[in-house]
C-alpha cells in the first residue's frame, strides 16, 4: 500500500499534463501512487495520460467540476496521506519527501503546505513567490490561521480530509477558498518555507456570470457558518459591500443601469450596517452619482 496518494484533476490541459505527471514520477520519494481524474476532457489529455501506462491510475467522469474530481480521487486513494496537484502545475523533486517527513514526525499536524514559485507558460521559473504562511493577509488571518492554501502545495492526512467533509462540490470554482476554513477546524497546519511546487502562470478565463455566481455562493456559505463571529462577520460584510459595488458598476457599464444602481445602493447599506471602511461607502456613492451623469 502506498503511503502517499497524489490526486490530479484534469480538464483539457493536453499541453501541460505530461510534465505534471512526470514531476511526480521524478520525486525522490517513491512510496506513492498517482491518481488522475479526467473531468470530461475533450482534447488529447486522455491519450497522453494513457501513455504512462500502469504508472497512473486513471478515472474518467462527465464534466462535473474540479471539486467532484478531487473528492472522487480521494475516495479511491490507498495512501495514508493525500497530495493534490493541479494538472498544469509541477512538483519540485523533494516535495513529498519533505512533506511526508513532517506528517511522520509531527503527529498533531494534519496538513503540510509550502511556498510556491511562479512558472511561465514557456516553462521558465520566475522569482516571485506565493508564501504558504501569510499571517498578515486578512482573509488568511481570520479564516485560515495565517495560512494561504494553494491545493497544489498540500499534503493532508486522509483521515483529516474526511473529517473536514472534503471539497464542497457546489462551490464550482471557489472550493479552494471554502474547504480550508473547515479543514482547520479539525486539524493544524504546518508550512515548509521554501517553494516545493511551481504554479503555472497563464490566463484564466472565467465568464463574468460564473464568477458572480461563484463569489455570491461562497459569501453565502461563509456567512451561514460565521455570521455570529464578530470579526468574521465584519470581514464578510466588507467583502460583500466591495463585491456589490463592483457588480453594480459592471452592470451599469453593460447597460443594465437599473439593476446596477440597486446593487450600489445595496452595497452602501451593507457597508454602513457592517461599519466597514467609509471609503467603501464613498466609492459606491460616487459610482451611483456618476451613473446619473454618464461618467461610469
Please choose, from the candidates 64, 85, 55, the residue with its C-alpha nearest in 3D space to the C-alpha of residue 156: 85
215 pLDDT exceeds 80?
A: yes
What is the C-alpha to C-alpha distance for residues 11 and 40, in angstroms, rounded to an integer? 7
Cβ-contact 8, 21 below 8 angstroms: yes
What percent of the chain is modeled with pLDDT above 90?
A: 87
Check residue 201 and give its pLDDT: 87
Cβ-contact 187, 159 below 8 angstroms: no
**Range with lowest mean pLDDT among 71-85, 148-162, 194-208:** 194-208
pLDDT tens-digit map of 10-58: 999 999 999 999 999 999 999 999 999 999 999 999 999 999 999 999 9
The CA angle 279-280-283, to the nearest 5 degrees, is: 80
252 pLDDT exceeds 90?
A: yes
Element (H, E) at 188: strand 188-201
Q: What is the mean pLDDT of residues 191-206?
A: 85
pLDDT-derived band of residue 264, with 50, 70 and 90 as boundaries?
A: very high
Which residues have C-beta within 8 Å of that of residue 289, sequence separation ≥ 6?
none
pLDDT-derived band of residue 84, with 50, 70 and 90 as boundaries?
A: very high
281 pLDDT exceeds 70?
A: yes
Q: What is residue 60's DSSP assignment?
A: E
Check residue 124 and give its pLDDT: 87
pLDDT-derived band of residue 279, with 50, 70 and 90 as boundaries?
A: confident
Cβ-contact 174, 214 below 8 angstroms: yes
Instruction: For strands 155-157 and 81-84, give the pairing.
Output: antiparallel
The fold for domain 4-201 equals Spore Coat Polysaccharide Biosynthesis Protein SpsA; Chain A (3.90.550)
Q: Where are the alpha helices (DSSP H) in 148-229?
A: 158-164, 175-183, 208-226
> What length is written for the chain?
296
The CA angle 164-195-29, to the nearest 5 degrees, is: 75
Which residues have C-beta within 8 Å of that of residue 105, sequence separation ≥ 6?
none
Please choose, from the candidates 126, 118, 265, 106, the residue with its C-alpha nearest in 3D space to the C-alpha of residue 190: 106
Check residue 207 and give its pLDDT: 54
What is the C-alpha to C-alpha distance for residues 218 and 221, in angstroms, rounded to an integer? 5
What is the C-alpha to C-alpha distance for residues 82 and 194, in angstroms, rounded to an integer? 20
What is the C-alpha to C-alpha distance for residues 1 and 76, in angstroms, rounded to an integer? 12
Q: Alpha-carbon Rg of the chain, whole angstroms?
A: 21
206 pLDDT exceeds 70?
A: no
Cβ-contact 194, 130 below 8 angstroms: no
pLDDT tens-digit map of 129-186: 999 999 999 999 999 999 999 999 999 999 999 999 999 999 878 999 999 999 999 9
Cβ-contact 176, 89 below 8 angstroms: no
| Domain ranges for the chain | 4-201, 208-293
pTM beyond 0.85, yes or no:
yes
Amino acid at each position: 500500500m502506498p503511503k502517499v496518494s497524489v490526486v490530479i484533476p484534469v480538464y483539457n490541459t493536453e499541453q501541460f499534463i505530461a510534465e505534471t505527471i512526470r514531476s511526480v514520477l521524478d520525486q525522490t520519494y517513491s512510496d506513492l501512487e498517482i491518481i488522475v481524474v479526467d473531468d470530461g476532457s475533450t482534447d488529447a489529455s486522455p491519450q497522453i495520460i494513457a501513455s504512462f501506462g500502469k504508472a497512473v491510475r486513471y478515472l474518467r467522469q462527465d464534466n462535473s467540476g474540479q471539486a467532484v474530481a478531487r473528492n472522487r480521487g480521494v475516495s479511491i486513494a490507498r495512501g495514508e496521506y493525500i497530495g493534490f496537484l493541479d494538472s498544469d502545475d509541477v512538483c519540485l523533486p523533494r516535495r513529498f519527501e519533505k512533506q511526508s517527513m513532517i506528517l511522520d514526525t509531527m503527529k498533531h499536524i494534519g496538513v503540510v503546505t509550502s511556498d510556491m514559485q511562479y512558472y511561465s507558460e514557456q516553462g521558465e521559473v520566475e522569482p516571485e513567490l506565493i508564501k504558504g504562511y501569510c499571517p498578515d493577509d486578512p482573509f488568511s488571518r481570520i479564516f485560515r490561521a495565517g495560512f494561504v492554501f494553494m491545493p497544489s502545495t498540500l499534503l493532508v492526512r486522509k483521515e483529516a480530509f474526511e473529517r473536514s467533509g472534503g471539497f464542497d462540490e457546489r462551490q464550482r470554482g471557489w472550493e479552494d477558498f471554502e474547504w480550508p476554513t473547515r479543514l482547520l477546524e479539525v486539524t493544524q497546519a504546518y508550512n515548509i518555507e521554501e517553494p516545493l511546487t511551481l504554479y503555472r502562470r497563464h490566463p484564466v478565463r472565467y465568464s463574468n456570470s460564473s464568477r458572480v455566481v461563484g463569489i455570491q455562493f461562497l459569501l453565502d456559505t461563509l456567512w451561514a457558518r460565521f455570521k455570529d463571529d464578530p470579526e468574521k462577520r465584519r470581514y464578510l460584510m466588507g467583502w460583500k459591500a466591495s463585491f456589490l459595488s463592483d457588480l453594480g458598476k459592471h452592470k451599469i457599464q453593460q447597460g443594465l443601469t437599473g439593476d446596477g444602481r440597486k446593487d450600489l445602493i445595496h452595497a452602501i447599506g451593507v457597508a454602513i450596517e457592517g461599519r466597514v471602511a467609509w471609503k467603501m461607502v464613498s466609492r459606491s456613492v460616487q459610482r451611483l452619482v456618476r451613473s446619473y451623469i454618464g461618467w461610469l
